[in-house]
């Protein structure tokens, strides 16, 4: 968390920065662990100051602010980061501030409560090196059915774990993986190669539907309140969750099962043992 829907929501929130000239880059002094900044702040400033924001894109769970120099400011929120254009939830966790002139907004910033995220200034070659097709699979919200099925159906791993592999398809994290599998009636420990192709088509359908609906609702703000959109508002997809973080509660789908929590690859998985089939 944040996952694809939350990062896409942030990207859309940063669109008013397009056309702005970067006039200042500030790194506030705060008493918390520093985030990774690459390159260091001085060469970062030297390369980015005076550049114009041409576009704001997303690759997987990263936001790319495209600059007229050919470089991009690449923000990776990881567990608790937010790219914003408004006042942040707390000033003491603001990590970098980019002042703008000539845009609809006067600045954008990167905020991170836990300090696990990164802000990089990468050339097009570096983006290809780190985020190209050799590193990441197709976007989970746009991948076509044949590509999706072909990439997963022969893997000898548990399906929930495979959905988190960014080299197969990118953008799905723990929360949306369990919601997708519940919607598709597939038990998370099922082996990918044992799942019929007809069921993989169902998983693909639910993947597209759930991710797109979550984007429309601006992502999920969980009980810790950490995730906010670019103008410090809450997401709304948490109200649609059927299994995530609902252990010991009745299944909203079949009305017969009770949601269980298991651990897969050191991550919590939520499922209904009544309506999710094990293959």
Catalytic residue numbers? 2-3, 61, 267
Whether 204 and 221 have beta carbons less than 8 Å apart is answered as no
To which residue do tokens 């774990």 refer? 161
Give the count of beta carbons closer than 10 Å to the beta carbon of residue 162: 20
| Contact present, 267 and 275 (Cβ < 8 Å) | no
CB contact set of 32 (below 8 Å; sequence gap of 6+): 92, 93, 115
CA distance between the termini of the chain: 28
Measured between alpha carbons, how far is 141 from 160 in angstroms, rounded to an integer? 17
């Amino acid at each position: 968390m944040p996952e694809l829907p939350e990062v896409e929501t942030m990207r859309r929130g940063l669109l008013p920065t397009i056309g702005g000239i970067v006039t200042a880059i500030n790194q506030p002094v705060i008493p918390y662990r520093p985030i990774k900044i690459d390159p260091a702040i001085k060469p970062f400033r030297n390369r980015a100051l005076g550049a114009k924001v041409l576009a704001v894109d997303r690759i997987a769970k990263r936001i790319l602010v495209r600059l007229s120099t050919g470089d991009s400011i690449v923000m990776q929120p990881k567990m608790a980061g937010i790219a914003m254009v408004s006042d942040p939830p707390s000033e003491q966790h603001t990590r970098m501030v980019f002042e703008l002139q000539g845009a609809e907004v006067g600045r954008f910033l990167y905020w991170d409560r836990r300090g696990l995220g990164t802000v990089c200034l990468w050339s097009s070659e570096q983006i290809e090196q780190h985020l190209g097709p050799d590193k990441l699979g197709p976007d989970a919200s746009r991948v076509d059915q044949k590509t999706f099925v072909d990439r997963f159906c022969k893997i000898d791993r548990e399906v929930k774990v495979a959905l988190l592999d960014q080299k197969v398809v990118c953008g799905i994290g723990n929360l949306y993986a369990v919601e997708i599998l519940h919607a598709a009636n597939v038990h998370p420990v099922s082996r990918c190669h044992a799942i019929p192709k007809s069921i993989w088509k169902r998983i693909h359908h639910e993947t597209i539907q759930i991710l797109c609906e979550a984007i429309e609702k601006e992502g999920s703000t969980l009980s810790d309140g950490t995730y906010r959109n670019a103008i410090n508002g809450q997401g709304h997809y948490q109200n649609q969750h059927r299994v995530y973080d609902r252990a010991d509660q009745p299944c909203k789908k079949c009305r017969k099962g009770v949601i269980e929590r298991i651990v897969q690859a050191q991550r919590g998985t939520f499922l209904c043992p009544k309506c999710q089939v094990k293959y």
